[in-house]
A and B are shown apart, each in its own frame.
Chain A
């Protein structure tokens, strides 16, 4: 240590200062309440709702900017995206985003990829300016959007044409169309971006896809359990998948390799949304028909808290 001289300590101290000052003091969870026209803000340390923000009609999709400073909310009933300052919790601007925006994903470069259900398009917006950057024609009733961690691919699901569209970024061209089970809802990528996972609501199944070849490499039906799965997320170590079971009122834990169900965690009614914290220890669910968020300890695979939020909670993100 001494060999490095006193400068080393200074650099470490400076780095520490920058890091602690860039990180936010209190991790917060933001939840859209589709039926409550609001966003509930939860203090992740206490699991208490600290603020409820009125945002407009039928808020659904929600995302956080890469630097954590802004929260984006799709206001389906107002055809707009609302931007919330993640510190002051004020709605600092809104921009029009076309008909009935539902779900979107935030690209590492900050752009939003939004599915436009009524227009059969995925649209790319710069949320700083509200400018429409690109439009990509997809199938009917586009819904789920996921972006690979390196930002080179997006997946958009089209619910009424039963497809996953793999889109190259920045070209914004479709490189694969993958036919899956009826009514594909949500998708996500593995940490290395090579594999994607998707749920089909009506066929009640999970599909695993090789992104480069566009081929389905695994399938697991959950339908026997009356699931109507929605959100799907890999665990931080990549060994498991968490699936929001919809009307099964459970979160399914699947082995990532075999897609076998290894556990089922009972939560509230109509579980739709999922968010995982940075270290992977906590999974948060929106339980749409129970007006609550469940907090799951991912190691014990148990619900450790439930938090009452607004009416029909839908989307959920964590700002750490």
Chain B
């Protein structure tokens, strides 16, 4: 009886102490290590570096410390990273996704649709797919039958709305060249990851992967809250470009509901 009571009070003490332990854990900055797999001089890497800078600013206020290591695609990665941001060939993406099943692996360069249809649970495609681009162009041509030679992009240096100007300026001032699809995707991967880390106060890959797949409402500075489809594809508006001139946005008004980002996606999981 006495023993039980002791156990009970000990338990009560522990229950009381746990939140305090958690609080003191919050007092220590959380160290977050992110791996970038790809060429150091790539646009995607520069985008990821800008995302890292911005994550550091947020982390200073909310208690996270970030670092980004560049790994050569051919080297064997180690597991002590919270997430992988990958600008490398599909086989490298797939190898990383299989080797680290509980870590988010962000694809920031590959556009192939079959990678999406594979539906790896931890493979997250920030880069817009081929399908999204052709659907965006299709919507545009439906609205403008005379249109030709239109391309669809994830990002454009002349994009100004929704604070795109500010993001373009930050990038160009820092690196001396303009932000493109790869750079935006690299930036977005680190930014959406760090925002979820701040919200969930954890560096645990599996917890973050679940939260990113289920609860993401990311501001990619494209005017809408972005989230991942079941295929792991980031839903996002695309920009329509002729020559190097920005001519419109998709979903295209009049053809689709401009907020219906799924109007650019029909790929479903093959399995």
Q: Which residues of A contact B (CB under 8 A)?
A: 117-118, 120, 139-141, 159-163, 165, 174, 177, 179, 181-183, 202-204, 223, 226
Residue-by-residue, is B248-267 near A (CB-CB < 8 Å gives 1, otherwise 0)?
00000000000100000000
Are A139 and B219 touching (Cβ within 8 A)?
A: no
What chain B residues lie within 8 Å of A183 (beta carbons)?
A: 163, 219
- Residues of A close to B199: CB separation below 8 A: 179
Query: Interface code B71-106, partner A: CB below 8 Å = 1, 0 otherwise?
Result: 000000000000000000000000000000000000
Which stretch from B55-63, B174-182, B205-213 is at the chain A interface? B55-63
Supplied contacts A140-B170, A162-B195, 10 more A-B pairs, CB within 8 Å: A141-B166, A160-B166, A160-B167, A165-B61, A179-B198, A182-B217, A202-B219, A202-B225, A203-B219, A203-B225
Report the separation of the CA atoms of residues A293 and B255 in the bound assembly, to the nearest whole angstrom.
31
B237 CB, nearest partner CB in chain A, Å: 12
Question: At the interface, yes or no: B218 with Cβ under 8 Å from chain A?
Answer: yes
Interface string of B219-244 (1 = CB under 8 A from A): 10101110000000000000000000
List residues of B (166-209) whose CB comes within 8 Å of A's CBs: 166-167, 169-170, 195, 198-199
Nearest first, the 7 closest Cβ-Cβ pairs linking A and B are A182-B219, A177-B61, A202-B219, A161-B58, A183-B219, A202-B225, A203-B217
B contact residues around A179 at 8 Å (CB): 62, 198-199
B113 is an interface residue with CB less than 8 A from chain A: no
**A210–B203 CA distance with the chains assembled, in angstroms:** 28
- Interface membership of B131, Cβ < 8 A: no
**Contact partners of B169 in chain A: CB under 8 A:** 118
Bound-complex Cα distance A165 to B58 (A): 11
A162, B219: Cβ atoms under 8 Å?
Answer: yes
Query: What are 23 A-to-B residue pairs whose CB atoms are below 8 Å?
Result: A118-B166, A118-B169, A139-B61, A140-B57, A141-B163, A159-B163, A159-B219, A160-B166, A160-B221, A161-B57, A161-B58, A161-B61, A162-B195, A162-B198, A163-B61, A163-B62, A165-B61, A177-B61, A179-B62, A179-B198, A181-B217, A182-B217, A202-B217
Q: Give Cα A204–Cα B163 distance, bound, in whole angstroms.
A: 16
Interface majority SS on B: helix, strand, loop or mixed? helix
Specify which chain B residues have a CB less than 8 angstroms from the CB of A162 in the assembled complex.
Answer: 58, 195, 198, 219
Bound complex: CA A40 to CA B258 (Å): 33
Q: Once bound together, how far apart are the Cα atoms of A118 and B168, in whole Å?
A: 11
User: Is B54 close to A, CB under 8 A?
Assistant: yes
What residue of chain B has the Cβ atom nearest to residue A99's Cβ? B169
Query: When chains A and B are docked, how far (Å) is the Cα of A179 from the Cα of B223?
Result: 19
Complex alpha-carbon distance, A226 and B217, angstroms: 15
Closest residue of chain B to A174 (Cβ to Cβ) is: B61
Question: Smallest CB–CB gap between B158 and chain A, Å?
Answer: 18
Q: In the assembled complex, which residues on chain A have CB atoms less than 8 Å from the CB atom of B221?
A: 160
Which B residues between 44 and 59 are near A, CB-CB below 8 angstroms?
54, 57-58
Contacts across chains A and B counted by CB atoms under 8 Å = 58
Complex CA gap A301/B225 in Å reads 31
In the complex, what residues of A have CB within 8 A of residue B259's CB?
226
Task: List chain A residues, Cβ under 8 A from B166.
Answer: 117-118, 141, 160
Instruction: Give the distance in Å from the alpha carbon of A208 to the alpha carbon of B223 in the complex.
Output: 23
Q: Which residue of chain B has its CB nearest to the CB of A203?
A: B217
Bound complex: CA of A117 vs CA of B163, how far in Å? Answer: 10
- 1/0 per residue B133-177: CB within 8 Å of A? 000000000000000000000000000000100110110000000
A181 partner residues in chain B, CB cutoff 8 A: 217
**B57 x A120 contact (CB < 8 A):** yes
B208, chain A: closest CB distance, angstroms: 15
Q: How far is the CB of A90 from chain B (nearest CB, A)?
A: 32
Contacts of A226 on B, CB cut-off 8 Å? Answer: 259
Q: Which residue of A lies closest to B199 (CB)?
A: A179
A25 to B46, CA, bound (A): 58
Residue contact A140 to B61, C-beta cutoff 8 Å: no
Contact of B58 among A118, A139, A182 (CB under 8 A): A139
Q: Do A163 and B217 form a contact, CB below 8 Å, given A179-B199, A182-B225, A226-B259?
A: no
Closest to A162 in B: B195
Residues of A within 8 A of B62 (CB): 163, 177, 179
Instruction: Report A-chain residues with C-beta under 8 Å of the C-beta of B223.
Output: 202
Complex Cα gap A165–B225 (Å): 22
Chain B residues closer than 8 Å to A117, beta-carbon distance: 166
Q: How far is the CA of A103 from the CA of B230 in the complex (A)?
A: 40
Residues of A within 8 A of B57 (CB): 120, 139-140, 161
CA distance A210 to B261 in the complex (A): 36
Select which of B61, B198, B219, B224 is within 8 A of A160 by beta carbon. B219
Q: Chain B contacts of A203 at CB under 8 A? A: 217, 219, 225
> A140 vs B198: C-alpha distance in the bound complex, in angstroms?
15
C-alpha gap A302/B62 in the complex (Å): 43
Residues of A within 8 A of B167 (CB): 160
Which residues on the B side are within 8 Å of A182 (C-beta)? 195, 217-219, 225
A125 to B170 Cα, complex, angstroms: 25
- Bound-state CA distance A141–B191 (Å) is 14
> CA A174 – CA B225 in complex, angstroms?
28
Q: Residue of B at shortest CB range from A226?
A: B259
Interface contact A140-B225, CB-CB below 8 Å: no
How many Å from the CB of B157 to the closest CB on chain A?
17
A176 to B54, CA, bound (A): 19
Task: Looking at the assembled complex, report how far the CB atom of A203 sits from the nearest CB atom of chain B, in whole angstroms.
Answer: 5
Bound complex: CA A163 to CA B64 (Å): 15
Nearest neighbor of B195 in chain A, beta-carbon distance: A162
